């Protein structure tokens, strides 16, 4: 009888432990915009509508995804998540980066066709690689296209930014540091786009 009771108690304890592991509170992250000194630009403000931003399907999910180094295997964290998906967050953070960096640029995500028509330039960005490699590199690579409100292409370029992935924290990915580094790389890409727009006549 005692053995039977011990077995019930042990089963209960193991079940409770499993319950608490699976109900670990989720941690949510978002991209940030680094502080910068504005560059000089023409007195006239150039309006830019960010009308389309795409990301690889593998990362377009609530969970943060990390790739194992020298492997095709991906780590999807159930407890480290985006507060807003990358596809939704990127147009906002890119426009904020550009506005902080270049005082002559007024950029914002496009919500309708009227805003697009009223802007001087339309910006589309296709992130072809948005990869964080465990104990490796963070690589952000994107094709971006700048056109006028008549649909004529003004500039089209591919840009790639890389950095070392932050070191592990107690054997686990340091997601806070990873997102901070991703934010810095996104900012660098934003600044390069802003430089091209600032140089246009």
Q: Please give the share of the chain, as a percent, with pLDDT higher than 70.
A: 86
**Cα distances (angstroms) measured from residue 179 to each of 5, 110, 129, 133, 163:** 49, 25, 15, 13, 12
Tokens of 128: 């072809």
Contacts 24+ apart (CB under 8 A), 109-116: 109/49, 109/50, 109/51, 110/49, 110/50, 110/51, 115/49, 116/49, 116/51, 116/149
pLDDT score at 18 = 42
What confidence tens digit (pLDDT) does each residue in 1-11 have? 544 444 444 44
Whether 50 has a pLDDT exceeding 80, the answer reads yes
In the structure, what pLDDT confidence band is assigned to residue 40 with cuts at 50, 70 and 90?
Answer: low
Distance CA 165, CA 174 (A): 9
Whether 122 has a pLDDT exceeding 80, the answer reads yes
Distance CA 191, CA 201 (A): 18
9 or 191, which is more confident? 191
In the structure, what pLDDT confidence band is assigned to residue 117 with cuts at 50, 70 and 90?
Answer: confident
Whether 16 has a pLDDT exceeding 50, the answer reads no
pLDDT score at 41 = 63
Domains along the chain with CATH numbers:
2-199 (3.40.50.10610)
């Amino acid at each position: 009888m005692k053995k039977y009771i011990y077995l019930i108690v042990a089963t209960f304890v193991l079940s409770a432990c499993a319950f608490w592991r699976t109900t670990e509170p989720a941690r949510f992250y978002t991209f940030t915009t680094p502080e910068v000194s504005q560059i000089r630009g023409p007195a006239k403000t150039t309006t830019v509508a960010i009308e389309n931003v795409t990301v690889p399907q593998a990362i377009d999910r609530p969970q943060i995804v990390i790739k194992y180094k020298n492997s095709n295997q991906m780590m999807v964290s159930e407890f480290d998540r985006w507060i807003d998906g990358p596809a939704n967050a990127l147009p906002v953070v890119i426009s904020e980066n550009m506005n902080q960096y270049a005082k002559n640029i007024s950029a914002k995500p496009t919500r309708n066709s009227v805003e697009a028509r009223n802007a001087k330039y339309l910006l589309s960005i296709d992130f072809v690689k948005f990869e964080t490699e465990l104990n490796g590199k963070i690589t952000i690579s994107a094709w971006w296209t700048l056109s006028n409100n008549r649909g004529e292409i003004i500039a089209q370029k591919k840009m790639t930014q890389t950095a070392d992935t932050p070191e592990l924290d107690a054997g686990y990915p340091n997601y806070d540091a990873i997102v901070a580094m991703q934010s810095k790389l996104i900012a660098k890409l934003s600044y390069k786009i802003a430089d091209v727009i600032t140089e246009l006549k």
